[in-house]
């Protein structure tokens, strides 16, 4: 499950938890050349509310991944005419790790080594036919549970606890890849660092909890401003946020950042019986070539320093 850049990390967390409670959305791909064997699996899975896609050959199975991007569990037979279950497993594994795709081998062969060789080929599990339905159900449930736990871990690792925005780790993991995609298409991209002005004073005057309220309000507003765009927003830490602007040169990003600055200056945060407001300073750097991503962040940081030095509440690029 890849977190979409436009999605709010907190929403993903909620979705992951929701999916933990119900397996209704899990899609299972059933691969078996024998129609009756396939149908038996399908009936069992559908009785359990899984969405099922079927394939009668390895080639059909691989094609199913083109059609459905939500397959998370594959149950595959061993003996099939075009490619056997091991080969299919290896090919699927080549594209999807076991943290995103669970593959369960199944066979009526009495070769006792088949289970081990399936696991070696990359399968997550194996079932010998004939099986009792409960065994299939338990093994599927365990594999769904593993996937759900991994999703929750990924969502938690990607999101900032206070604001629910993507965190620094997520930003550093994903921004360089997005930048390289832009550069490959010869599109410009820019990166900005936004920092709240005199935030320490706000903390000192009103207390840390009010400071947190303001941080959350700024984060919520930023999220609303960038939701559904191709920009990647994150909280780097403290009162600092980073924004990657895809397909935007420094001029466009600077103009947009100035609108953001003005918008945030108009934000009112109710705290006790006061209405608080803050200003922000922003440094913007254009990403011009395949230098390390850190260099561009440093450049944005330098511009931020200049915006502060020049009196704050401004954008510098």
Contact residues for ligand GH3 (CB under 6 A)?
162, 195-201, 203, 208, 211-212, 215, 238-239, 308, 312
| Residue 79 binding: pick among Mg ion, ligand GH3, none (C-beta 5-8 Å cut-off by kind) | Mg ion
Q: Of residues 7, 239, 286, 291, which has the active-site annotation?
A: 239
Work out how close the CB of 261 gets to ligand GH3 at its nearest, in angstroms, rounded to a whole number.
13
Distances 179 to 7, 14, 151, 285 between C-alpha atoms, Å: 18, 28, 25, 13
Supply the DSSP string of 63-99, one letter for each residue: HHHHH-S-EEEEEEES--SSS-HHHHHHHHHHHS-TT
| Residue 33 binding: pick among Mg ion, ligand GH3, none (C-beta 5-8 Å cut-off by kind) | Mg ion
Q: Is 239 a catalytic residue?
A: yes
SS3 string of 150-179? HHHHHHHHHECCCCCCEEHHHHHHHHHHHH
* Residue with Cβ nearer ligand GH3 (185 or 201): 201
Cα 249 to the center of its chain, rounded Å: 26
| Residue 162 binding: pick among ligand GH3, Mg ion, none (C-beta 5-8 Å cut-off by kind) | ligand GH3
* Residue with Cβ nearer ligand GH3 (82 or 212): 212
Answer for the pair 84, 109: CB distance below 8 angstroms, yes or no.
no
CB neighbourhood size of 175 (10 A) = 24
What residue ranges bind Mg ion (CB under 5 A)?
A: 33, 77, 79, 195-196, 199, 239-240
Which residue number places its CB atom closest to ligand GH3? Answer: 211
Answer for the pair 182, 188: CB distance below 8 angstroms, yes or no.
yes
| Residue 312 binding: pick among ligand GH3, Mg ion, none (C-beta 5-8 Å cut-off by kind) | ligand GH3
| List of residues 6+ apart from 265 with CB closer than 8 A | 277, 278, 279, 280, 313
- 31 forms bridges with which residues in the sheet? 55, 76
* Residue with Cβ nearer Mg ion (107 or 143): 107
Q: Which of 164, 156, 149 is nearest to 233 (CA)?
A: 164
Instruction: Retrieve residue 117's tokens.
Output: 């060789």
* Residue with Cβ nearer ligand GH3 (220 or 312): 312
Work out how close the CB of 312 gets to ligand GH3 at its nearest, in angstroms, rounded to a whole number.
6
| Residue 212 binding: pick among ligand GH3, Mg ion, none (C-beta 5-8 Å cut-off by kind) | ligand GH3
* Residue with Cβ nearer ligand GH3 (93 or 312): 312
Question: Which residues are identified as catalytic?
Answer: 239
């Amino acid at each position: 499950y890849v977190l979409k850049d436009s999605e709010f990390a907190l929403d993903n967390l909620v979705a992951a938890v929701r999916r933990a409670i119900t397996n209704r959305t899990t899609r299972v791909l059933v691969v078996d050349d024998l129609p009756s064997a396939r149908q038996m699996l399908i009936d069992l899975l559908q009785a359990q509310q899984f969405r099922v896609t079927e394939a009668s050959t390895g080639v059909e199975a691989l094609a199913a991944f083109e059609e459905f991007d939500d397959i998370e569990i594959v149950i595959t037979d061993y003996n099939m005419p075009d490619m056997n279950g091991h080969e299919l497993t290896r090919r699927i594994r080549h594209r999807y790790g076991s943290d995103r795709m669970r593959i369960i081998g199944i066979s009526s062969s009495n070769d006792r080594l088949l289970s081990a060789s399936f696991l070696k080929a990359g399968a997550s599990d194996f079932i010998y036919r004939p099986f009792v339905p409960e065994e299939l159900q338990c093994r599927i449930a365990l594999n769904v549970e593993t996937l759900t736990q991994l999703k929750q871990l990924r969502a938690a690792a990607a999101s900032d606890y206070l604001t629910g925005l993507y965190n620094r780790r997520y930003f550093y993991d994903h921004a360089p890849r997005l930048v390289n995609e832009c550069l490959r298409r010869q599109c410009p991209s820019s990166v900005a660092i936004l920092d709240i002005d005199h935030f320490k004073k706000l903390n000192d005057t009103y207390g840390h909890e009010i400071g947190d309220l303001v941080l959350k309000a700024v984060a919520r507003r930023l999220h609303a401003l960038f939701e559904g765009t191709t920009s990647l927003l994150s909280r780097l830490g403290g009162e600092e946020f980073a924004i990657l602007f895809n397909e935007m040169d420094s001029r466009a990003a600077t103009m947009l950042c100035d609108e953001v600055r003005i918008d945030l200056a108009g934000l009112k945060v109710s705290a006790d019986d006061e209405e608080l407001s803050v200003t922000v300073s922003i440094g913007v750097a254009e990403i011009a070539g395949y230098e390390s991503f850190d260099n561009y962040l440093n450049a944005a940081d330098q511009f931020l320093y200049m915006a502060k030095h020049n009196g704050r509440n401004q954008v510098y690029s």
